[in-house]
Amino acid sequence: MNKTTDILQDFGSLADVRIGLSAEVRAQSVHALNRLLAHTMAIRDAYKKAHWQTSGAAFYQLHLLFDKHYGEQELIMDTIAERVQTLGGVTFALAGDVADESSIARAPRGRESALAQLERLVTAHETILIEARPLARTAADIGDDGTNDLIVSQVVRANELQSWFIGEHLAAQSKAGNTQ
């Protein structure tokens, strides 16, 4: 069996969907959304790693918070992927795609202190937010209201809120001088 004949749609191509947007607009949004999807997959995985490996005085609080944020990022990830499909695109789906596309720093394999985990997560949120806002404005400018709405109402708002929660824990950890 020839593996190339099993591919229904090449990555980077668009299926013909009738949603009232030109192929050019859809292609631009698919590219932007795949970038956000890669970031979202990266931060989702960072949260699960932190959940599994957290330690120290705030273990229980952080363990629960990291798992909650993991679940929320997973929902955002699904919503982004569904929008890419709605636009006729093909989503990133594999770890290698995420590693190639996302600029979010990968955590080391070893166990980090809670402070290092929190710093890494707040930096990842900032990366997403810095990229998401202009992508939302561009989507609005090119007439892709669905993509604009998704980015603003789900990606930006959720990452702002999660960043705030992580920032509050980070401030408490720093204040306490806790490096575990």
Is the CATH number 3.10.20.740 carried by domain 21-176? no
Domain ranges of the chain: 21-176
Ordered per-residue pLDDT tens for the chain, 180 residues: 456 678 999 999 999 999 999 999 999 999 999 999 999 999 999 999 999 999 888 899 999 999 999 999 999 999 999 999 999 999 988 888 888 999 998 889 999 999 999 999 999 999 999 999 999 999 999 999 999 999 999 999 999 999 999 999 988 877 766 555
Q: Among 122, 128, 82, which Cα is nearest to 102's?
A: 128
Alpha carbon distances (Å) from 106 to 44, 51, 109, 151: 12, 15, 9, 23
Cβ(133)–Cβ(96) under 8 Å? no
Cβ(151)–Cβ(135) under 8 Å? yes
